Amino acid sequence: MSRVDDFSPPLRYPFALGPHGTPPPVIAWARKHHPVCPVLLPSGQQVWMVTRKDDITRLLTQPVFSRDLVYPGAPRFVGEDFTAVPGGIFNLDGADHARIRHILAPHFTPSAAARHTEMIARHAEGLLDAMETGLNPADLVEAYAAPLPLRVSCEVLGIPLEQRAAYLDAFRTQTSLVVSAADVAAATAATLDLTEQIIKAKRADGDHNGPLGALVGAEAEGVLSDEELHGTASYLLVTGSEPLVPPLATGAVTLMRHPDQLNACVAEEELWPQAVDEVLRYHHNGVLGLPRVATEDVTLHGVRIAAGDGVCAPMLGATWDPRHYRHPEKFDIHRSGDMSATFGAGPHFCLGGAFARVFLTTAYAALFRRFPDLFLAVPEDDLPWQVDIQLIRPARVPVCW
C-alpha cells in the first residue's frame, strides 16, 4: 500500500485501494492537503478532484459544473464511454434533464422500489438454492453477487436475460481502465446496438411498462426525442446491474468481517436498512466519480478551475469526511447522520438510490437468513480487489457455511 508521504500532485488514477476495499488512502491525503487536487486519468487528460463533503455538495448542486460531456475532447477516464452518448439523462443539464427525469422518477420512488421486493427475493432464493446444493466452499461473487443484479435488472427493465447477458463484456469494457479508447468506444457502440434491439422490440409489442417502456411511450407522445430515448435507455442498461455488484459483494465481506453487527441483523431483520446505509457510506461502488466540466472559471480553496476543466467528486471523499462522520473508518450500522451522501446531491441525485437500498436489504437478508454462519474461506487479506475497473469490487469471495 502507498504511504501517505508517497503522494504528490498530480495524482495518477487509478489509485491504490485501502485494505478490504476501503477508500484509497490518497483521498484522505488530498482532503487534508490538496482539497482541489489535479489528477491524471488513464486517457492522459488531467482533471481536478475535490474531496471535502461541502465542496462536493457545491460541485453537484451548482449549474456552473455541467454534466454535458458530449463533445470532442471532453474529459474521459479512458475513451468515449456512456458520458459521450448524446441524449442520455446522465449527460443532460437543466430543463432537458428534468424533463426526462420526470418520466423515469415514478419508477424509482421508494414505494416503486419496494414493489420489487418480492421479485428480488424470488431471484435471491433461486440462486441460494443452487448455491446450497453446489460446492461448499463457493465463490460468493460467482454464485450470488454477480448474477443477482443482472437477473433483477432484467426484470425491472423487462428484457430477456440471455439477450442482455450476451452484452456483459461490453458493459464491463465501458468501466475498464486497462483497455484502449477504441475498445471503450466499441463497447459503447455495442451497448447502443443492444439498446436499439430492445427499443425495437418494445415498440413492436407496444410495451410501455417499466422505466424503458415509459421512455418508449414518452417518445411516441413526443415528450422526448429519439436520441434522448436511445441515450437514456442505454444508460439504464449500463447502470442497472453491474454497479450493484460491488456493494453486494463488498458489503457481504464487510458484514462477515464484523460478525457482531452481522449477527445483530440476522437476529433482528429490521436492522438491515441501517446496515445497508452504512455499507453504502463505507463503500461507494466506484472511486473517482465521472467528471463534470466547469462552464466558467471558478476559484475554490485558492485554486482556479478554468472553464472547460474537468472536475471529479469521489463520493467516498464525502462519506469518509471526518468533519461530517465521526471516525469514518469505523463500520457502524448504528451510525446517524447524512446517510444519503453516497448517492450524491442536486439534480443528478442517484435515480436508483431507493432501488439500490431495497435491492441490498432484500439480498443481504436472504443471504444471511439462509447462511447465518457464512464465513470467509480465505484470509481476508487474500481477497482479490479488482484494480483495472472504475468500480471497487472483489473478483472473488470464497465463502463457507
Partner 1 sequence: MPVAICVFMSANTHIGDFTVRTLSRRHQRILNRAEHVLIGLSPFNGYYKPRLVRDLVAWGHHHFDRTDVFIPGWETAHTLTGAGMSPRDAVHRSRRAAKRLRNAAVDALRSCGDTEPHTRVHTSTTLASRGAYTRLHERVRTEYARDPVVRAACRETAREALRTHCDGQPSEQQVDLAVSYPLAELPLILDSPAIFATESSVVVYHRELGPLTPLILGRSPTVWPVAGQGFAVVTPPPTALERREG
Q: Which residues bind partner 1 (CB under 8 A)?
A: 135-137, 178, 377-379, 382-388, 395-396, 398, 400-401
Strand bridging mode 65-66 / 36-40: unpaired
Beta carbon of residue 326, minimum distance to partner 1 (angstroms, whole number): 32
Nearer to partner 1, 206 or 384 (CB): 384
Phi first, then psi: what are they for 46, rounded to 5°?
-110, 135
- Count H helices and E strands in the chain, helices first: 17, 11
**Cα separation of the two ends of the chain:** 31
Nearer to partner 1, 201 or 378 (CB): 378
Nearer to partner 1, 208 or 396 (CB): 396
Beta carbon of residue 17, minimum distance to partner 1 (angstroms, whole number): 10
Q: How far apart are CA 228 and CA 394, in angstroms?
A: 34
Phi first, then psi: what are they for 88, rounded to 5°?
-70, 140
Beta carbon of residue 381, minimum distance to partner 1 (angstroms, whole number): 8
Shortest CA distance to 213 belongs to which of 231, 197, 201, 227?
201
Nearer to partner 1, 252 or 356 (CB): 252
List of residues 6+ apart from 102 with CB closer than 8 A = none
Identify the H or E element spanning 251. Answer: helix 245-257
Angle between helices 272-282 and 353-370 (to 10 degrees): 120
Beta carbon of residue 138, minimum distance to partner 1 (angstroms, whole number): 9
Q: How far apart are CA 375 and CA 296, in angstroms?
A: 52
Identify the H or E element spanning 236. Answer: helix 226-240
Nearer to partner 1, 114 or 377 (CB): 377
Nearer to partner 1, 97 or 393 (CB): 393
The whole-angstrom distance between residue 118's C-alpha and the CA centroid of its chain comes to 23
List of residues 6+ apart from 126 with CB closer than 8 A = none
Answer yes or no: are the C-beta atoms of 179 and 78 closer than 8 Å. Answer: yes
Nearer to partner 1, 276 or 391 (CB): 391
Using alpha carbons, list the distances in angstroms from residue 312 to 9, 40, 52, 270: 15, 11, 12, 36
Nearer to partner 1, 350 or 378 (CB): 378
Beta carbon of residue 382, minimum distance to partner 1 (angstroms, whole number): 5
